[in-house]
Amino acid sequence: MMRRWLSVVPVRKSAAGAVVALGALVGCGGSADSTTQKATPVATKASAAVSVPEALVGTWSSRLASHGAAVIGSDPGTVIIKISADGTLGIYYPGSNSANACVSDPECDPGEIKGGGARLTIGATTMCSGDEAQYSFRIVGDKLTTKSVKEDCVGDRPVLFDGATWQRQT
């Protein structure tokens, strides 16, 4: 089973694995600026003014194929995204439980999304911690399609969102 990677330490699903990963990150010594850290959630109370079109709010699923999974160090399978009206984004990778809060699931990446018209701005993710990315989107029935407009990262964000089709779950 493949694991998604955080720097050079795999993210584990078990509590013991989390302790080992945390120990490896904290206990390896060195200065704070020599340690690569997971992108922090950018959706906070300060971002409460951020909003997304009502049609985007909800839970969406898409299939992560083997090639894309290999690029981002994940298992292939179903990816779930949860988009809240305040711009909170949860990306639940295969093996996660989307019934859990994203912050409590080691296989979920929290983030921020905002949009208007036919454009989305997607914030930092684990592998794309730099500039925000711009995507076009279209919703027809229960299908959401996304396409890159401006994306400077080659990590997880374009694998998940460039040319993707999502099926509404709720």
Q: Quickly list DSSP for 94-134.
A: TT--TTS-GGG-TTEEEEEEEEETTEEEE---SS--SS-EE
pLDDT at residue 4, rounded to an integer:
46
Q: What is the mean pLDDT of residues 65-93?
A: 95
Q: How confident is the model at residue 40 (pLDDT cuts 50, 70, 90)?
A: very low
Q: Which two tokens stand for residue 146?
A: 């996304």
CB within 8 Å of 132: residues ≥ 6 apart? 121, 122, 123, 124
Considering the chain, what is the average pLDDT of its residues? 78
Query: Residue 72 above 90 pLDDT?
Result: yes
pLDDT band at 37 (very low <50, low <70, confident <90, very high): very low
Can you tell me the distance from the alpha carbon of 128 to that of 135, in angstroms, rounded to the nearest whole number? 14
What is the identity of the amino acid at 85?
Answer: A
Q: What is the pLDDT of residue 49?
A: 56
Q: Are 107 and 156 in contact (CB under 8 A)?
A: no
Residue count of the chain, please give it: 170
- Distances in Å between the alpha carbon of 90 and those of 20, 26, 49, 58? 24, 25, 18, 11
The answer to whether 125 and 110 have CB atoms below 8 angstroms apart is: no
Whether residue 105 is predicted with pLDDT greater than 50 in this model: the reply is yes
The Cα–Cα gap between 50 and 33 comes to 30
What pLDDT, on the 0 to 100 scale, is given for residue 108? 93
Does 1 have pLDDT greater than 50?
Answer: no
Domains of the chain: 5-34 (no CATH), 45-168 (2.40.128.360)
Contact between 144 and 168 (Cβ < 8 Å): yes
Asked if residue 89 lies in contact with residue 83, where contact means CB atoms within 8 angstroms, the answer is yes
Q: Which residue would you say has higher pLDDT here, 87 or 34?
A: 87
For residue 17, pLDDT beyond 80 = no
Please tell me the predicted confidence (pLDDT) of residue 10.
Answer: 33
Residue 19, token pair as written in the block? 């302790």
Say which range, 26-40, 57-71, 133-147, 152-166, has the weakest mean pLDDT.
Answer: 26-40
| Predicted model pTM | 0.71
Per-residue pLDDT band at 22 (split at 50, 70, 90): very low
What pLDDT is attached to residue 50? 62
